[in-house]
Chain A
Amino acid sequence: MTTETLGQWLMSEAPLSRRQAILGNVYRSLRAIVRNPTALAGLVIVALLILMAIFAPWLSLGQSPLDQDLAGRLAAPSAQHWFGTDELGRDIMARTIFGARVTLTIVLLVAVVVVPIGLAVGTVAGYTGGWLDAALMRITDVFLAFPRLVLALAFAAALGPGINNAVIAISLTAWPPYARIARSETLAIARSDFIQAAVLQGASTWRILFRHIVPLCLSSVIVRLTLDMAGIILTAAGLGFLGLGAQPPTAEWGAMVSSGRDVILDQWWVATIPGVAIFVVSLGFNLLGDGLRDVFDPKSNA
């Protein structure tokens, strides 16, 4: 038995099993991400967001995001309330930390809806061509033509307030770019020899799309998704700000900013703290997306 360190085993250029090959690949990608400073910064911020959401009850030091204290409303930051209290006396720190859960939920649900739809539409359009391609792309164009926030608002208003409806509304406006990306990646590889080889082996169109084409679209889609997250968070916050999306008393950053509007000059912390949270998380996703784009770009990997 050779004494090979785990690192060497993963980085081996001659993997001896499928497991080693796949793990090796994953390890290499992670290393590349960690080596890129922008990606690393973004990754740290996003990781903190996730940890914050998971460990919310502990991190908020026992303060509840929902307990009202009307006598202590709009209190300035103090030892008892690190970020002060809002207009109903609720601890802003606790609400901000719990708000991460709402933000993360919306972002994950949108991702889970948007990526499969975009990939399906884009790869089918790119591979099949002809009238199906034209039809799918025109539908995509229709959705792309609307300004995202306005369309989301319209859907949310029509569907009614609530997180689930907010997710649906945002997803309906967010999917078109993914279809476009998937389609252009598909067009680039549809005529290549390895796809023709699969056709020659008798692979069905479904198999070719799912096993051959989609894996090659994934890196572009992931980069786009990460960069989009910031926009999705802002749209969700915008919906919350306008009273659609998460409903009171749930802590949601956008709604918190909205409720702090009136008192922004005297009790700045009510609107600013959740605002900073939105800013930092958007920044984190942007940095991660930028970093991932550098990592996945084949030309920059000299």
Chain B
Amino acid sequence: MIAVDHLNVTFRSGDREVRAVQDVSFEVAAGESFGIVGESGSGKSTVLRAIAGLVPSTAARLEVNGRPASARRTREDRRMLQFVFQDPYASLHPRQTVDDILREPLAIHRIPGIDGKVVKAIADVGLLPAHRFRYPHQLSGGQRQRVAIARALILSPPILLLDEPTSALDVSVQAEILNLIGKLRQGYSLTSILVSHDLAVVAHLCSRIAIMQFGRLVEVITAEDLRTGQVTADYTRELIAASRGFTRAGA
């Protein structure tokens, strides 16, 4: 479904060059839930954006939905792949109601039955009809993230990319959103890539997980291996140990 082969992303400003992603390769099968974990500067979000075509990249092969993905995506290409951003406070247009936000993708792609689809999308993500005409500032962070997810799914794309979707949310809200994502993955038969710095979140939702550090892919392991600690790279071990919390001296 998604194939990435020797992906490189380099940002240039003036004469400074930052190699955000170096030589990353992995594949995601149809219907699979893939995770990418790393700390800041690991390049995990950049990989996602490169797949979405939001940042320029070079690769030996970059296939989305089985077809090579070009640098310039057409409107049809856009229907194949959707994105959920990290910051619920920045991903919705402040002057548009939920209704406006959800109509837009349907209007752009000239899909009929807009009203019905909007109502269904709102219900699917666990919002109430009363939320339909609210502005983002009248919604909580969790509610906004639900709108962002509804917007991503209203076109029924086969592929969903999620960039730290719950990092900005409280623990209880995070649980609701993670459950929602899990449920929707089934309902919409999605192939998804979830990026997070939180190992537990990724292990909860994903079956295979890529570990990244400093722009490189360290290894790809299954969630099972992660839980049992059967990993090959030292960095992964370090990450797992750190995620368990603090160990006191002498404890």
Contacts and interface: CB of A to CB of B under 8 A. Distances in A.
Is A–B contact present in the complex under a CB 8 A cutoff? yes
Interface of A: 13-18, 20-21, 25, 192-194, 196-203, 207, 211-212, 215-216
Interface stretch (B3-11, B128-136, B237-245): B128-136
A11 B16 CA distance: 52
A157 B77 CA distance: 56
Contacts of A18: 97, 99, 133
Assign chain B's interface to a size class: 35 or more
Contacts of B97: 15, 18, 21
Nearest to B135: A21
Given A18-B99, A194-B92, A212-B93, A201 B78 contact: yes
27 contacts: A13-B138, A14-B130, A16-B133, A18-B133, A21-B97, A193-B86, A193-B87, A193-B91, A194-B92, A194-B93, A196-B83, A196-B85, A197-B148, A198-B93, A200-B81, A201-B104, A201-B151, A201-B155, A202-B73, A202-B74, A202-B79, A203-B104, A203-B108, A211-B104, A215-B95, A216-B94, A216-B95
A203 B101 CA distance: 12
Given A193-B86, A202-B76, 10 more contacts: A15-B97, A21-B134, A21-B135, A193-B87, A196-B54, A196-B85, A198-B93, A200-B82, A201-B108, A202-B79
B199 interface: no
A20 B133 contact: yes
4 closest cross-chain pairs (CB), A and B = A202-B78, A202-B75, A193-B91, A15-B133
Interface string B80-121: 011101110011111101010000110011000000000000
B150 interface: no
Nearest to A197: B91
B54 to A, nearest CB: 6
Contact of B108 (A21, A192, A207): A207
Contact of A200 (B76, B83, B109, B133): B83
A199 B52 CA distance: 10
A25 B155 CA distance: 29
Interface of B: 52, 54, 73-79, 81-83, 85-87, 90-95, 97, 99, 104-105, 108-109, 130-135, 138, 148, 151, 155
Nearest to B151: A197
A211 B107 CA distance: 13
Contact of A197 (B75, B85, B99): B85
A13 B139 CA distance: 9
B78, B86, B155: residue with the most chain A Cβ atoms closer than 10 Å? B78
A15 B85 contact: no
B134 A13 contact: yes
Contacts of A202: 73-79, 105, 108-109
Contact of A193 (B75, B85, B131): B85
A16, A201, A216: residue with the most chain B Cβ atoms closer than 10 Å? A201
A192 to B, nearest CB: 6
B50 to A, nearest CB: 13
Contacts of A17: 133
A193 B92 CA distance: 8
Contacts of A21: 97, 133-135
B134 A200 contact: no
